[in-house]
Chain A
């Protein structure tokens, strides 16, 4: 049996990579993929703790997170498509209309 701490370590590494993707990349679609990576890292930690405590409720929570993430991706990509249609770019630096 692999200790839970190994999974938590892997989850922390994946989450950090996701944060770096959000901070470093400027392609809005890649930024969005990095957000998905962070969600997955959190899910992995949840499932690892669920196994340690034998809590099936945590698996239910992960199930809900995955479902809501699917809805979030659909709406987010629709927003990206409509931004691309008006701005002709997917670069997050170019979308600065709200900048004061």
Chain B
């Protein structure tokens, strides 16, 4: 049952990614990427990480994709690639190197010894958002606060970068 769900979700995720890569319109690319993010969030649920499932949906599929779609439509940059590529040898080389990367990462990723997936009481405790929250506010309290600071810097940076009538 789990395997069937995994296979369906994996097919959806790969389809979304490939469609994002090949579609000529940037709005379509963004929507296909949204499909991919939704599929990955289902993967998190299958991996017994329900908190990350919620975070993935709200932050990635919600906030980030809205930002992408907003900028694409604001700039009117849906189709900027109508002119022919000026670096003609780039495409075949990129395909070749991409294939090499895939082979290497699959070999390295599958090379290690695999233990059978755990189950039972330990897994139930692992998937509980409470254990993640406790860890976040005890051992990882300083990184958590630094992250808040990074978000503040991002907000200030966006405002500064988009000020009108000022040279940067």
Contact = CB atoms under 8 A, between A and B. Distances in A.
A44 B114 CA distance: 17
Indicate the member of A33, A36, A66, A79 with the most B CB atoms within 10 Å: A33
A84 B162 CA distance: 11
A75 B21 contact: no
Given A14-B17, A25-B81, A82-B161, A74 B136 contact: no
Given A75-B154, A82-B162, A91-B80, A51 B102 contact: no
A19 B59 contact: no
Contacts of B60: 36, 40, 66, 69
Interface in B1-51: 2-3, 6, 10, 13-14, 17-18, 20-21, 26, 29-30, 33, 36-37, 40, 43-44, 46-49, 51
B14 A13 contact: yes
Indicate the member of B10, B95, B99 with the most A CB atoms within 10 Å: B10
Nearest to B108: A12
Chain B interface extent, by class: 35 or more
B110 A5 contact: yes
A54 B97 CA distance: 34
Interface string A10-24: 111111111111011
A40 B98 contact: no
* Consensus secondary structure, chain B interface: helix
A10 to B, nearest CB: 5
A86 to B, nearest CB: 9
Contacts of A43: 40
Interface of B: 2-3, 6, 10, 13-14, 17-18, 20-21, 26, 29-30, 33, 36-37, 40, 43-44, 46-49, 51-52, 55-56, 59-60, 63-64, 67-68, 71-72, 74-75, 77, 80-81, 83, 85-87, 90-91, 94-95, 97-99, 101-102, 105-106, 109-110, 114-119, 122-123, 126, 131-132, 135-136, 139-140, 143, 147, 150-151, 153-155, 157-158, 161-162, 168
Interface of A: 1-21, 23-30, 32-34, 36-37, 40, 43-45, 47-48, 50-52, 54, 56-57, 59-60, 62-64, 66-75, 77-82, 84, 89-91, 93
25 contacts: A2-B3, A5-B109, A10-B10, A12-B106, A16-B101, A21-B21, A23-B94, A29-B26, A29-B75, A33-B20, A33-B33, A33-B68, A47-B43, A50-B47, A50-B126, A51-B123, A59-B51, A63-B136, A67-B147, A70-B63, A70-B64, A72-B154, A78-B158, A78-B162, A84-B75
